[in-house]
Structure 1
Amino acid sequence: MSPTIGAIVIPVSDLESAKKVYTALYGEPHTDQPYYVGFNVNGFEVSLNPQGEGGPVAMTDVDDLDATRNALLAAGATEQSAPRTVAPDVRICVLADSDGNPFGLRGK
């Protein structure tokens, strides 16, 4: 699989208010938990994260998260959040480019 941007994670300070706005736009969420609200928009994941900081982060789907992460770190990216499991067989991490712009990886 080629790397594909498959999701965006949006940090929110008021999950209930944000959920109302995004539900009006995208319909009912497929996941509605205090720690995460997720919407499927024609196969693209729009996620609300009440624990997030900063701006939205595009998540790129990759086959091998560790190999891709290591290659990006070797190329000069820096780590903002280490790999962690968020669902069965799904791990994520957030890196930044040389200007500090965040981007995420989502994979196994």
Structure 2
Amino acid sequence: MNEGVKTIIFPVRDLDRAKRLLAVVAGGEPHMDEPYYVGFKVAGQDVGLDPNAHGKGLTHPTPYWHVDDIRAKYQELLDEGATSVQGVQDVGGGKLVASVRDVDGNVIGLIQPKS
């Protein structure tokens, strides 16, 4: 099952500055504020800032599709010609993420919420 794109992550170099700017456009403070990730909820959409994303090969905002079987979806994308950017990883509490690059160079993110 696929729940669509519910998360967008922005790679940032200056987390504090990016957090202040996003708070202005989001109209409020983040719901998660850690040195490794800052997250805002805006009208049901998760918008995140990742200061480590550049090191993971993510250089532009990345949409993340919420799926119920990330390993299967990740493998399907690879089978269709995508290349791995980040394999399936637990980012805390059972939440899994992965990303691939399509044949045109676009990054597609996947999230499997914790069960």
User: Is TM (by shorter chain) over 0.5?
Assistant: yes
When the two structures are superposed, what TM-score results if normalisation uses the length of structure 2? 0.89
Q: How does 1:33-72 map to 2 (within 5 A)?
A: 33-53=34-54, 54-72=59-77
After the TM superposition, which parts of structure 1 deviate over 2 Å for at least 4 consecutive aligned residues? none
1:26-66: CA deviation from partner (whole Å, max 9, x where unpaired): 11100001110000112110000001121111000001000
State the AA in 2 paired with 1:6: K
Percentage identity across paired residues of the two chains = 38
When the two structures are superposed, what TM-score results if normalisation uses the length of structure 1? 0.94
Inter-partner Cα distance in structure 2 for 1:78 and 1:42: 32
1:11-34: CA deviation from partner (whole Å, max 9, x where unpaired): 001000000001112111000011
Aligned length, in residue pairs: 108
Q: How does 1:4-23 map to 2 (within 5 A)?
A: 4-23=4-23
Inter-partner Cα distance in structure 2 for 1:86 and 1:5: 18
Inter-partner Cα distance in structure 2 for 1:103 and 1:81: 10
Inter-partner Cα distance in structure 2 for 1:101 and 1:34: 27
Partner residue, 1:74: 79
Inter-partner Cα distance in structure 2 for 1:76 and 1:91: 22
Taking only aligned residues, the RMSD between alpha carbons, in angstroms, comes to 1.1
The answer for unaligned runs of 5 or more in structure 1 is none
Q: 2-11 or 12-21, which moves further after superposition?
A: 2-11
